């Protein structure tokens, strides 16, 4: 059986699979021998973690976690399982068709909302509805993240199957409050004191923060419904992971 390498940017995203809250930089062995890396945010960190997974013997990669919606019709909690991912320079990568269809069947069997299409990788958090609308009109992508294209390129270079499973945490209509982005370090960790300081200076950010927290809970619930730490045997039924 192929050993699958799963990359999640944040500990909160990895928790659905790991069953606990790992730390950024961790590489964990999962039931069935698969590996999970908690990469931190951004393309460079994702690529480095993906290279370590390949060096450890994985021969298929999954980009796992959350995404921000660009398409107005995509709600929080929707699983984005894209046909293509596009990097910030416009280079496109196709996800493995057979593996992607297996993931879609599993999601549909668990009554989860799904959306195919294009996922775009961006260099920084897209904060406002206006920025999301502009990106949607320019790229036609339904959602964005900061890591998937880097992993897709690595998988293409290594000639291994690649697929994306991302749950939408913030919709096209939602804003990411400045207090959150200013409190976030380079790896994606939230510094609580810095966040509280920002909210004291900009109390109106609290409304957007509550909406964002609600959206993240919907995304986390969708990921946990899709797969849990004792539920990774389904990978054996997916052709890309059973070769």
Model confidence pLDDT, tens digit, residues 12-43: 899 888 777 788 899 999 877 889 999 999 99
Among 85-99, 184-198, 199-213, 218-232, name the most confident range: 85-99
SS3 at position 114: strand
Global pTM?
A: 0.88
More confident residue, 65 or 238: 65
For residues 64 and 204, give the distance between their C-alpha atoms in angstroms, rounded to a whole number. 32
How sure is the predictor about 174, in pLDDT bands with cuts at 50, 70 and 90? Answer: confident
- List of E strands, 42-102: 60-69, 79-80, 84-86, 92-94
pLDDT of 50: 97
Q: Given a cut of 60, is residue 154 above it in pLDDT?
A: yes
Tens of pLDDT, residue by residue over 54-81, are 999 999 999 999 999 999 999 999 999 9
More confident residue, 43 or 176: 43
Buried b (16+ CB within 10 A) or exposed e, 182-220: ebbeebbeeeeeebeebbeeeeebeebbebbeebbebbb
Tell which CATH classification among 3.90.550.10, 3.40.50.1580, 2.60.40.10, 3.40.50.720 matches the domain 4-242: 3.40.50.1580
| Residue 27 · residue 35 · CB < 8 Å | yes
pLDDT of 12: 87
Average pLDDT of the residues in 212-239: 80
């Amino acid at each position: 059986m192929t050993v699958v390498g799963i990359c999640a940017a944040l500990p909160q995203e990895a928790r659905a699979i790991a069953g606990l809250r790992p730390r950024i930089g961790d590489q964990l062995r999962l039931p069935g021998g698969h590996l999970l890396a908690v990469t931190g945010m951004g393309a460079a960190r994702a690529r480095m973690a993906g290279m370590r997974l390949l060096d450890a013997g994985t021969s298929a990669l999954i980009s796992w976690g959350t995404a921000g919606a660009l398409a107005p019709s995509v709600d929080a909690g929707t699983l984005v399982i894209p046909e293509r991912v596009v990097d910030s320079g416009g280079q496109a990568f196709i996800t493995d068709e057979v593996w992607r269809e297996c993931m879609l069947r599993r999601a549909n069997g668990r009554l989860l909302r799904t959306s195919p299409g294009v996922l775009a990788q961006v260099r920084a958090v897209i904060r406002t509805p206006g920025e999301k609308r502009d990106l949607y009109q320019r790229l036609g992508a339904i959602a964005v993240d900061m890591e998937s294209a880097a992993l897709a390129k690595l998988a293409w270079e290594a000639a291994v199957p690649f697929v994306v499973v991302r749950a939408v945490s913030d919709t096209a209509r939602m804003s990411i409050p400045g207090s959150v982005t200013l409190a976030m370090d380079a790896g994606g960790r939230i510094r609580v004191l810095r966040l509280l300081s920002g909210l004291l200076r900009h109390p109106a950010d609290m409304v957007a923060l509550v909406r964002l927290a609600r959206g993240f809970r919907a995304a986390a619930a969708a990921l946990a419904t899709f797969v849990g730490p004792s539920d990774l045997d389904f990978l054996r039924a997916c052709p890309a992971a059973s070769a």
